[in-house]
């Protein structure tokens, strides 16, 4: 819990708004974001590197809502994108092309051409195949593509296996000891300017010695590349800094330690720094609110069945993620050890397990830390429409993505004429 999401007058509030009041208007489940929390967390991250030549590029994969992006654009943020769709979202939110970097292991030719047309800051290259493709497209367009190469430093960040990207054996980047040959190849290709190094070793990292080890390797690599005559003028350090999920992690201390590591390695390197926080900015600025449908005691377990499900918030199912669960209006009842499960027809459909909760049918529960990798990972499995997203600003709030209707969900499909009694419609 933080100063922007807390209990006040016996109810859980985001800034000055009672979550129960939002539920009464928009229904459940829904996501709610605190504008003040996003602004405060961005400022804290920005200020930690204010003495460096640094650009903070928010990672859209964490939260791509246009209201969130516009808020960050107005604060001065750049963007880290991994698809043409995310690039278009960033541009639509007012983020300047020269503040956008395009990452990702599988860019298509169409995506590369669009990025070059818009004149973005940099494309982060992950393979020789991609390097050659970008050179060919840039030559055809008559432009020079600004590039950095993503390095896999083979460092274990000691996070969840599905959040680990900086070890050998993953699909990301090229081996750090192949970088010299990669730069040499790029120097021979037309219409590309490879002058940067990029890395991203994983997500939800609280084991900061992993950053220390990875950054140490990158500094050695820069020195090697410069000794060979190559220009390295910017470093993209990716993101991955962890946050608290009700587990006692001190985020302020974590950021301070991370900033110290970055300064120690790169302050004197003569490079522009790009940093790509996502989760750190929005995770604890958001909550997911769901309503209790049924209480289901069994011989083995006590289940609290809610209207939110894995299709709305998949992190617990996909990443074994732990979200703190709080009642929107606390009960005086005795807590019962329960699993919180949804209506989706899958045994993996749960939001939390073995939580001591005092709640009953019709009560509202809030899953904390849901502002990152929540709505962006949601889907419509079991024909469940996408849920509403709300942004709170002081005592006011707005729906920033309306709840999808079942009619709109069905209308996305079309039925061919032959199934609708057309000329060849007989079966």
| Phi, psi of 365, rounded to the nearest 5 degrees | -120, 145
> pLDDT tens digits for 183-201?
999 999 999 999 999 887 7
- What's the mean pLDDT in 131-146? 98
Q: Where are the alpha helices (DSSP H) in 203-293?
A: 209-227, 251-266, 279-282
Q: What is the pLDDT of residue 339?
A: 97
Q: How distant, in Å, are the alpha carbons of 93, 103, 118, 252, 334 from that of 111?
A: 19, 11, 11, 37, 55
pLDDT band at 169; cut points 50, 70, 90: low
Domains belonging to the chain, first-starting first, are 5-32+284-411 (2.40.37.10), 35-283 (3.20.20.10)
pLDDT at 138: 98
Using 50, 70 and 90 to split pLDDT, how confident is the model at 155? Answer: low
Phi, psi of 355 (to 5 degrees): -110, 135
DSSP 272: E
Rounded Cα distance, 400 and 67, in Å: 6
Give the CA dihedral 417, 419, 423, 427, nearest 10 degrees: 160
Angstrom distance (rounded) from CA 154 to CA 207: 15
Half-sphere exposure of 150 toward its Cβ, with a 13 Å CA cutoff? Answer: 29
Tell me if 301 sits within 8 A of 339, measured CB to CB. yes
Q: Among candidates 151, 147, 174, which has minimal Cα distance to 231? A: 147
Q: Tell me which DSSP letter residue 383 carries.
A: G
Answer yes or no: is pLDDT of 166 > 70: no
What's residue 202's pLDDT? Answer: 73
Phi, psi of 251 (to 5 degrees): -65, -35
Q: Is the pLDDT score of 427 beyond 50?
A: no
The arithmetic mean of pLDDT across residues 388-400, rounded, is 98
Residue 26 has pLDDT above 80, yes or no: yes
Residue 1 has pLDDT above 80, yes or no: no
**E strands in 257-317:** 272-275, 286-297, 302-306
List the catalytic residues.
345
Contact between residue 116 and residue 95 where contact means Cβ atoms under 8 Å apart: no
Cis check: omega of the bond before 29, within 30 degrees of 0: yes
Does pLDDT of 409 surpass 80? yes
Low-confidence winner among 139-148, 243-252, 256-265, 332-341 (lowest mean pLDDT):
243-252
Residue 298: alpha-carbon gap to chain centroid: 37
156: closest CA among 234, 199, 209?
209
Confidence of residue 161 (pLDDT cuts 50, 70, 90): very low
pLDDT tens profile 114-128 = 999 999 999 999 999
pLDDT of 425 over the 50 cut: no
Which of 145-154, 222-231, 254-263, 328-337 bottoms out in mean pLDDT, i.e. has the lowest? 145-154
Tens digits of residue pLDDT in 347-376: 999 999 999 999 999 999 999 999 999 999
* Contact predicate 13/287, CB 8 Å: no
pTM: 0.93
Q: What is the pLDDT of residue 399?
A: 98
Which range has the top average pLDDT, 183-187, 211-215, 240-244?
183-187
């Amino acid at each position: 819990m933080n100063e922007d999401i807390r209990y006040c007058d016996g109810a859980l509030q985001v800034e000055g708004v009672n979550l129960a009041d939002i539920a009464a208007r928009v229904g459940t489940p829904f996501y709610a974001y605190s504008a003040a929390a996003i602004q405060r967390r961005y400022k804290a991250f920005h200020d930690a590197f204010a003495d460096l030549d640094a650009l903070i590029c928010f990672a859209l994969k964490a939260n791509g809502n246009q209201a969130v992006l516009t808020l960050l654009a107005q604060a001065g943020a750049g963007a880290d994108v991994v698809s043409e769709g995310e690039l278009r979202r960033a541009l639509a939110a007012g983020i300047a092309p020269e503040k956008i970097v395009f990452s990702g292991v599988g860019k298509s030719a169409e995506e590369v051409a669009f990025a070059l047309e818009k004149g973005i800051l940099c494309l982060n290259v992950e393979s020789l195949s991609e390097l050659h493709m970008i050179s060919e497209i840039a030559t055809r367009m008559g432009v020079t593509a600004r590039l950095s190469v993503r390095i896999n430093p083979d460092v274990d960040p000691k996070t969840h296996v599905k959040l680990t990207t900086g070890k050998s054996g993953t699909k990301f980047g090229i081996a750090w000891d192949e970088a010299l040959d990669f730069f040499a190849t790029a120097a021979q290709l037309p219409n590309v300017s490879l002058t940067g190094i990029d890395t991203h070793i994983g997500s939800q990292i609280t084991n900061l010695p992993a950053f220390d080890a990875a950054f140490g390797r990158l500094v050695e690599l820069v020195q090697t590349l410069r000794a060979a005559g190559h220009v390295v003028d910017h470093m993209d350090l990716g993101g991955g800094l962890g946050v608290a999920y009700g587990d006692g992690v001190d985020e302020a201390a974590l950021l301070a330690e991370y900033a110290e590591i970055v300064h120690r390695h790169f302050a004197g390197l003569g490079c522009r720094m790009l940093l790509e926080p996502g989760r750190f900015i929005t995770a604890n600025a958001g909550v997911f609110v769901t309503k209790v449908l049924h209480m289901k005691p069994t011989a083995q377990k006590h289940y609290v069945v809610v209207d939110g499900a894995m299709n709305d918030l998949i992190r617990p199912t996909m990443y074994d993620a732990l979200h703190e669960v709080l009642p929107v209006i606390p009960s005086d009842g005795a807590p019962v050890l329960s699993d919180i499960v949804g209506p989706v027809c899958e045994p993996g459909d749960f939001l939390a397990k073995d939580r001591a909760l005092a709640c009953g049918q019709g009560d509202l529960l809030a899953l904390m830390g849901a502002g990152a990798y929540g709505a962006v990972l949601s889907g419509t499995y079991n024909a469940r429409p996408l849920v509403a997203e709300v942004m709170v600003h002081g005592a006011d709030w707005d729906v920033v993505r309306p709840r999808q209707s079942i009619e709109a969900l069905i209308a996305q499909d079309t039925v061919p004429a032959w199934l609708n009694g057309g000329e060849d419609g007989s079966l």
